[in-house]
Amino acid sequence: MIAFRTLDDADLAHKRVLVRVDLNVPMESGRVTDDTRLRAILPTIRAITDQGGKAVLLSHFGRPKGRDASQSLAPLAKALEAQLGRKVSFAEDCVGDAAQNAVSRLAAGEVIVLENTRFHAGEEKNAPDFVDALASLGDIYVNDSFSTAHRSHASTEGLAHKLPAYAGRSMEGEIEALTKALEAPARPVLAVVGGSKVSTKLELLGNLVRKVDVLVIAGGMANTFLAAQGKKVGKSLCEHDLADTARDILKKAEAAGCEIVLPVDAVLASEFRANAPHRVAGVDDVGENEMMLDAGPQTVARVEEKLDGAKTVVWNGPFGAFEMAPFDAATVTVARYVGKLTREGRVLSVAGGGDTVAALNHAGVAEDFSYVSTAGGAFLEWLEGKALPGVEALRR
Ligand SMILES: Nc1ncnc2c1ncn2[C@@H]1O[C@H](COP(=O)(O)OP(=O)(O)O)[C@@H](O)[C@H]1O
Ligand SMILES: O=C(OP(=O)(O)O)[C@H](O)COP(=O)(O)O
């Protein structure tokens, strides 16, 4: 039983409902390339507008340092309008006069997106004055963003202590589905952790190795481990400062009996662009100017062999820069393999993360997975057994 209030407990009519959503979706040249997170929040927005509430949507986008027009939520308000099939207005700030005026003009049943919360330093600091400024725009608070529940920010955590707080439909659904799928997973459990958010996801691997039997470290994440083992990684995405943390994780894995699988080969290029000239080489043979932009075929074969022995597969973070051909090959091949194992009833598979879901859709296999979560980092922290601040703050 989930111990928090949901929309079913809220009186929404004529209320200004501050809703934390996750509009941090994959985009290219101003266009949304994967709309999974937009579709996920439609039931909550409709529940509010159907009951005559005013939906005031809060979200971050990217990791801006201050106001940055390239990380505006304005295009997302348009994209959401198309999904929702009704007008979605936009305010050029999430606090202050621009926000106050725009919210005060809203009629019952209307929807507005406020500008990127991370344009203000108070968001990530969870600063009390910024929380108060946001809270003044709403009568009640709904958190419908499981994918940011691991962040203790003003819009994800602080507001829940200021206003009557409720879980949105997507938040409820995510926790229920993940609990059902992974509360008592069939073993062996294999986790794949890849992608590019190395600094924010690396540390949690130390706990994850106690929960899973095999950990495949992939994508940009793997490069930090390879460098920590003394390999030359050239210009690859790598957090050299985290070498000690990476070595510590390898030790913890050994102590916990968790098998670590690292890449043995990679697709290398000197330019970060689609169809850049590339070559396949072992991870000991990376040139000074080269980047590992995808896992190589030997690594993929090794991962498939490990997948054959697994009963449960959890996955966050692609194997390579999958947005650019041909560096999508490993991610697509492994995604299709997990999809096939799932269809055949050989594994239960759960994948999550903004870009991971985009990658599964790109591979055409999202439907084949047992469950696809909107969340990446939050999903991994949940799996690690950590209390998520955004969820904890909602508890009755
Ligand atoms: N070897 C690599 N070099 C550079 N970028 C990579 C590499 N592998 C994966 N990526 C990038 O990682 C990003 C996704 O990582 P992340 O944000 O952690 O995943 P998610 O959004 O699913 O949680 C993608 O944009 C992809 O291009
Ligand atoms: O995209 C997100 O997470 P994900 O990359 O783990 O899927 C969330 O919007 C959180 O973003 P953040 O990691 O910048 O706090």
- In this structure, what token pair is assigned to residue 9? 């407990």
Nearest to 315 by CA among 359, 346, 285, 267: 359
Question: Does the beta carbon of 339 lie inside 6 Å of ligand 2?
Answer: no
To the query of whether residue 37 is one of the catalytic residues in this protein, the response is yes
pLDDT in tens, 263-315: 999 999 999 999 999 999 999 999 999 999 999 999 999 999 999 999 999 99
Output the pTM of the full model.
Answer: 0.96
What is the distance in A from the centroid of ligand 2 to the CA of 1?
27
Residue 343 among known ligand-binding residues: no
**For the chain, what is the radius of gyration of the CA atoms?**
21
To the query of whether residue 364 is one of the catalytic residues in this protein, the response is no
Cis status, amide bond into 43, omega within 30 of 0: no
Question: Does the beta carbon of 318 lie inside 6 Å of ligand 1?
Answer: yes
Q: How many Cα atoms sit within 13 Å of 213 on the Cβ side?
A: 13
What is the distance in A from the centroid of ligand 1 to the CA of 201?
12
To the query of whether residue 354 is one of the catalytic residues in this protein, the response is yes
pLDDT in tens, 70-80: 999 999 999 99
- In this structure, what token pair is assigned to residue 216? 């495949």
Residue 395 among known ligand-binding residues: no
Residue 203 confidence (pLDDT): 87
Regions of the chain with pLDDT less than 50? none
What is the distance in A from the centroid of ligand 2 to the CA of 52?
31
Question: Does the beta carbon of 270 lie inside 6 Å of ligand 2?
Answer: no
DSSP string, 193-256: E-SS-HHHHTTTHHHHTTT-SEEEE-HHHHHHHHHHTT---TTSS--GGGHHHHHHHHHHHHHH
Residue 68 among known ligand-binding residues: no
Question: Does the beta carbon of 296 lie inside 6 Å of ligand 1?
Answer: no
SS3 184: coil
Residue 28 confidence (pLDDT): 93
Which of 197, 206, 219, 302 is an active site residue?
197
Give yes or no for a contact between 373 and 388, defined as CB atoms under 8 angstroms apart. Answer: no
Residue 2 confidence (pLDDT): 58
- In this structure, what token pair is assigned to residue 126? 């969870």
